[in-house]
Structure 1
Amino acid sequence: MAKSNGSGVKKAYLILYNAVSAIAWATILGRVVVVFWWKSPFFVPLVVDNFARITQTCAVIEILHALTGVVPAPVFTTLMQVASRLFLMWAVCWPFPQNNTSVFYSSMLLAWSLTEVIRYSYFALKQVDEVPGSLHWLRYSAFLVLYPIGISSEVAMTLQALFYGPASSLTPWYPYALVMVLLSYIPGSVILYSHMLKQRRKYLGAGKTAEKKTQ
């Protein structure tokens, strides 16, 4: 009975966590799209910057989820994904807000928010075995387009901080730190993209369907 109760609490927690996260990222997505369309990229950070930073920072808890086994996610790839985004939010966008008015900031948040709305919605519905086939397909296919957009936007934002920040205005070593992070994108992006391709083959290959329980 205790094990059953614990399982129920865990399921309720994961439903709540993923649902709230999906709503938060949907809010970011809506703000970016509306302001970008009706105004310009210049106004996007005015309506989304702080909220996006807080929302992304809260994702640190997902590292704990992976470490403690709350979700069956690989710790290393989870750490890489969360750390890279925290780097963008706190080490690139926050110190150099003047760069956030560029189109790359908007495209970065667009890719992130679309990815997360799909991902969190998928995992929330998975807890009650109600994942639509279309959402299942998007979960393991949307990254084919969104990941390159996100990565290229992240690199562009970092380059802007490096050359137009200027990064050296903070500390003499800051530009070197940014260069090191940029170099880490070469193996890092390959690892993460390869991981998602592997997941796609596993869960969409050989006639897999949304009704089958997936990771």
Structure 2
Amino acid sequence: MVKTFSTQYLKLYNVLSCFLWLSVLIRAGLLWHISGDQRAVFNHTNVLVRWVQTLALAEVFHSILRFVKSSPFTTAIQVLSRLILVWGVCYLFPQSINTSPIYLFMILAWSITEVIRYAFYACNLAGSVPKLLLWLRYNTFLVLYPIGAGSELLLVLKTFRVAWNTFFLSKIVWTAATVIYPFGFYMLYTHMISQRRKVLKLTKKDVKA
């Protein structure tokens, strides 16, 4: 009964998250295509991005409750790093980044990654993952992760001076983020590469069989 509930709940969560990130992707893409104005992209997407990303806090509890096999520590690092961006950087210091193309690169990398990831999870729970989706899941991150993480770090650095001069807590958070980001990226990126190797081995075995 519990397993059935968690499976159905996760299907709903992943489908909902996929559509929410798809809406971010479409909105950002259309705004940039129509206006070409970085400020317009920021002003009309930052609230949506903030709350869609905040929803991902649920994934920390999913791992703690063992609804999924993901490490709670790894999941928490990934979610926390993004929450620092949407609440600490974009929400507190919009005037420092609202005209920067770095923000657009970040949310495009995030949204494409998440549309693929959540679609993959939803299909996997349904028992059938299309080959194209499997390929996208374990190959696109090779490019999208560096773009996303690099953009995150650049936005932290871009707001470092103003954050440092604002209040004491920001001195601690921004300094910690600047130091931790490279290590966090390395850990998450190598973890995904390891997962990619495992999946490719299993895929090759299935083809041979």
Q: Which TM-score bucket, shorter chain as reference?
A: over 0.9
Structure-2 change in CA distance of 1:143 and 1:101 (3 Å): same
* Mapped pair 1:30 → 2:34: no
In structure 1, what is the Cα distance between the partners aligned to 2:79 and 2:160? 22
Richer in helix (by share): 2
* Mapped pair 1:16 → 2:21: no
Could you say what secondary structure the match of 2:139 adopts?
coil
| CA contact 1:19–1:120 (8 Å) conserved in 2 | yes
| CA contact 1:131–1:210 (8 Å) conserved in 2 | no
Match of 2:40 in 1: 43
* Mapped pair 1:174 → 2:170: yes
Could you say what secondary structure the match of 1:170 adopts?
coil
Alpha-carbon displacement from aligned partner over 1:170-208 (angstroms, at most 9, x marks no partner): 214524531221110121111010100000000123644
In structure 1, what is the Cα distance between the partners aligned to 2:187 and 2:2? 34
| CA contact 2:43–2:98 (8 Å) conserved in 1 | no
In structure 1, what is the Cα distance between the partners aligned to 2:90 and 2:43? 13
Structure-2 change in CA distance of 1:77 and 1:38 (3 Å): same
In structure 1, what is the Cα distance between the partners aligned to 2:164 and 2:202? 52
Alpha-carbon displacement from aligned partner over 1:58-99 (angstroms, at most 9, x marks no partner): 110100000110011111110110010001111111111111
Report the count of equivalent residues.
205
Could you say what secondary structure the match of 2:159 adopts?
helix
TM superposition shift of 1:169: 4.0
Percent of aligned positions with the same letter in both sequences?
39
Q: Which of 48, 58, 61 in structure 2 is aligned with 1:61? A: 58
- Matched to 1:142, the amino acid is T
Alpha-carbon displacement from aligned partner over 1:156-176 (angstroms, at most 9, x marks no partner): 11111113xx11342145245
CA root-mean-square deviation: 1.7
- Matched to 1:45, the amino acid is F
TM superposition shift of 1:142: 1.0
| CA contact 1:132–1:210 (8 Å) conserved in 2 | no
- Matched to 1:81, the amino acid is Q
In structure 2, what is the Cα distance between the partners aligned to 1:161 and 1:144? 27
| CA contact 2:14–2:121 (8 Å) conserved in 1 | yes
Give 5+ residue unaligned stretches, structure 1.
none
Match of 1:200 in 2: 196
| CA contact 1:62–1:78 (8 Å) conserved in 2 | yes
The TM-score normalised by the length of structure 1 is 0.90
Match of 1:115 in 2: 113
In structure 2, what is the Cα distance between the partners aligned to 1:103 and 1:69? 38
In structure 2, what is the Cα distance between the partners aligned to 1:52 and 1:38? 20
- Matched to 1:35, the amino acid is L
Q: Which of 61, 67, 71 in structure 1 is aligned with 2:68? A: 71
Could you say what secondary structure the match of 1:185 adopts?
helix
In structure 1, what is the Cα distance between the partners aligned to 2:169 and 2:121? 41
Could you say what secondary structure the match of 1:101 adopts?
coil
- Matched to 2:53, the amino acid is Q
Could you say what secondary structure the match of 2:12 adopts?
helix
Could you say what secondary structure the match of 2:56 adopts?
helix
